[in-house]
Amino acid sequence: MKNNILYIAAVCIALGLSACSTDPEDAVEKHVYTENEAPYLRTDVSANISTTAEFRKGHVALKTISLKDYAETIQTKLGMTVDDMIAGLETGKVVFYNINTSRGIWDKTATTKGTTGWYYNKSGQIVSNEADAAGYIELDKASKSIIIGVPENSSAGVSFSDNVGFAINNGKDYDQYVRLNILISVTDPGLIMPTITIPTGDYSSYEVKFADYSSAIQKCLGMTASDFNSVVQDSKGDIAMYMADDEGKWDTTSTYTANGLGYWLDASGKVTTWGKTGFSYFVETHDGSVGIGRAPGVAAGTKIKLHFVYVSKTDNSKFIEFVCNVTAE
């Protein structure tokens, strides 16, 4: 009799412990999620695609993630091609939602940007309108791409992550999925602000050496200072020089008016030509440096701010920016 009582007690304890688990993996029969429930996110490290969308302050061209680049992962995890996955969104066989990683669930919040995207604030939380947004993620079905954008006036230092995913909609769970973990940031690593003094003498110049800013050149243009110097010796190469106004807007229409990649400027920093009334300064690419010089007649102590960029012609998100505080000796 005593043995029977102990046996019954042990069974009751075991049943009680199993009933206390809230982990869906521990359930004898998996929960079937209804349309209004948020399915849990089954842990699958191999389904995670991590990528970065880094924007440059002042020139925040859209970033594009081609889903074709991850066709193998999509085929492995969803058992379908990228084309089939996009087509599945139309039939309901596939869903595209946010993922709340802190709670470990799929977030079925309705889209807030068009029919296939969401706006997010600086904390990465979904917001309902563009005015409150620090960025957005949107699916472009036509190009089979994820598009990421941030506002034109974004400040450097913005950084947040968001997760979106595609899952097979089997009516029970979203266990077959691929997840994109996207780090969105706005940086300003290429802003160079030297304070310089142009020596006395007609046409004298101060040389800003490229080697002194090799880390910015490498970070922003993806090349060494030596390689950069080689490219900028040819005005027909991939790197262009543009003057910029006080708001940072590039003058992409003026042709070079000094030697090589370079310009003559008037007293307000606007592009002009040598010999024209009011010509006062030049910014000119030399071997190993950019020379900032003076025309005859510039009075000692005259100050000016000269703002210019070196930018890739094929990818204008790659650039370094100079804001030079200049004094004539």
- Give the fold, CATH level 3, of 32-187: Immunoglobulin-like (2.60.40)
User: What's the half-sphere exposure (Cβ side, CA atoms, 13 Å) at 172?
Assistant: 8
Place of tokens 């997010």: 120
**pLDDT at residue 18, rounded to an integer:** 45
* CA distance readout (Å), 329 to 170, 200, 263, 296, 301: 76, 5, 21, 13, 6
Largest CA distance in the chain: 115
**pLDDT at residue 20, rounded to an integer:** 46
Contact 184, 135 (CB under 8 A): yes
As a whole number of angstroms, the distance between CA 86 and CA 94 comes to 8
- Strand 177-187 relative to strand 145-149: parallel, antiparallel, unpaired? unpaired
Q: What does pLDDT average to in each consecutive run of 10 residues of the chain (329 residues)?
A: 52 47 52 82 96 89 96 98 98 97 94 97 95 97 98 90 96 96 91 94 97 95 97 97 90 97 97 97 98 96 94 94 94
**pLDDT at residue 5, rounded to an integer:** 54
Q: Which CATH architecture has domain 191-328?
A: Sandwich (2.60)
As a whole number of angstroms, the distance between CA 248 and CA 264 comes to 19
Same fold for the pair 32-187 and 191-328 = yes
Contact 194, 322 (CB under 8 A): yes
Sheet bearing 271-272, strands edge to edge: 205-209, 289-294, 279-286, 262-266, 271-272
**pLDDT at residue 155, rounded to an integer:** 86
Give the tokens for residue 109: 């919040």
**pLDDT at residue 19, rounded to an integer:** 44
What are the extents of the domains in the chain?
32-187, 191-328
**pLDDT at residue 15, rounded to an integer:** 47
